[in-house]
Amino acid sequence: MESGVEELMPRLLPVDDCDLAEDFDPTVPPRTPQEYLKRVQIEAARCPDVVVAQIDPKKLRKKQTVNISISGCQPAPEGYSPTLKWQQQQVANFSAVRQSLNKHRNHWRSQHLDSNVTMPKSEDEEGWKKFCLGERVYSEIDALSDNENLGIDYIKVGFPPLLSIVSRMNQATVTSVLEYLISWFGEKKFTPELGRWLYALLACLEKPLLPEAHSLIRQLARRCSEVRVLEENKNEEQMSALNLIICLVSRYFDQRDLADEPS
């Protein structure tokens, strides 16, 4: 085994046999070049062939593993499959939105936020869910309090994805918030608040997609296809919103295997 290692890793500091003092101690600073080289050789021999890093799992960000599924979306229910013309129009509209956002991003980023807008930190999952969806949706409260006639309480109904807000989000934050909302959507129903934020976050995603974002949007499209099949009380507005997200993921972000077949 050692001979094989020698062949693959030839000694860069060969030390010929030399007369070292009888009192040579490798633990003390070397006094001659020969002692230095001999000490290096001794230390190298003590190094293990394989070193395993000690990693603190608490410092790792959760959900780092990226699983990309190749399974497609479930077909749209009968009567709700979008036409190819409709899908092409949505892609064109979405492209125009993205171009406008990129063009005016610096302008909107410079605009002052209202005093009641406090954007959560990127890693604050619960904070972002409440910020985007509002306490009413997040906590699944059926009715608002009697104070709603005093004005819109965005803490309860959620902050809309205003350009002044999303323009301040870097790609890491966009991806994180998208992950938080998709995770929430995996167990909850589709709501208009959720739909608005998903559309806005997709509009902020930069191409080419990072592997994590690629996996997330595929997961989102498949979840939308599940919901539109399982939803008992189907309505035109909700079906159209679900079709729109699937359309953008599949046709704008080039996940063609997830696309709805034209009706």
Is residue 67 assigned to a domain? Answer: no
Whether the predicted pLDDT of 59 surpasses 70: no
Residue 157 confidence (pLDDT) above 60 = yes
pLDDT class of 142 with cuts at 50, 70, 90: low
Nearest Cα to 195, choosing from 262, 139, 143, 240?
A: 240
Q: Please check whether residue 128 is in contact with residue 180, taking contact to mean a CB–CB distance below 8 angstroms.
A: yes
CA nearest neighbour of 38 among 50, 20, 56, 59: 20
pLDDT band for position 58 (cuts 50, 70, 90) = low
Q: Is residue 64 in a domain? A: no
pLDDT over 80 (residue 152): no
Answer whether residue 50 is part of any domain: no
How many domains is the chain built from?
Answer: 1
Average pLDDT, the chain: 83
CA distances in angstroms from 104 to 16, 98, 110, 164, listed in the order given: 70, 10, 10, 10
Residue 148 has pLDDT above 90, yes or no: no
Pick the most confident of 62-71, 135-144, 201-210.
201-210
What is the share, in percent, of the chain residues with pLDDT greater than 90? 54
- Predicted confidence band of residue 143 (pLDDT cuts 50, 70, 90): low
SS3 96: helix
Percent pLDDT > 70 in the chain is 76
Query: What torsion, rounded to 10 degrees, do the Cα atoms 60, 62, 63, 65 define?
Result: 10
Answer whether residue 237 is part of any domain.
yes
**The two structure tokens encoding residue 188:** 């909850």
Average pLDDT over residues 152-171: 90
Q: Are 80 and 126 in contact (CB under 8 A)?
A: no
Domain with 103 in it: what CATH number? Answer: 1.20.58.1070
- 183-229 pLDDT per residue, tens: 999 999 999 999 999 999 999 999 999 999 999 999 999 999 999 99
CA 117-122-128 angle, to 5 degrees, is: 55
75 within some domain: no
Which residues constitute the domain of residue 209?
84-141+152-258
Q: Does residue 38 form part of some domain?
A: no
Structural domain contains residue 40: no
pLDDT at position 116 = 87
Residue 68's pLDDT band (cuts 50, 70, 90) = very low
Q: Give the side-chain half-sphere CA count within 13 A for 167.
A: 20
In a domain, 249, yes or no: yes
Q: How far apart are CA 142 and CA 260, in angstroms?
A: 33
pLDDT at 151: 62
Within 13 Å of residue 5, how many CA atoms lie on the same side as its CB?
A: 8
> Looking at residues 47-66, what average pLDDT do you find?
61
For 90-107, b/e burial (b = at least 16 CB within 10 A) is: bbeebeeebeebeeeeee
Quick one: DSSP state of residue 257?
Answer: G
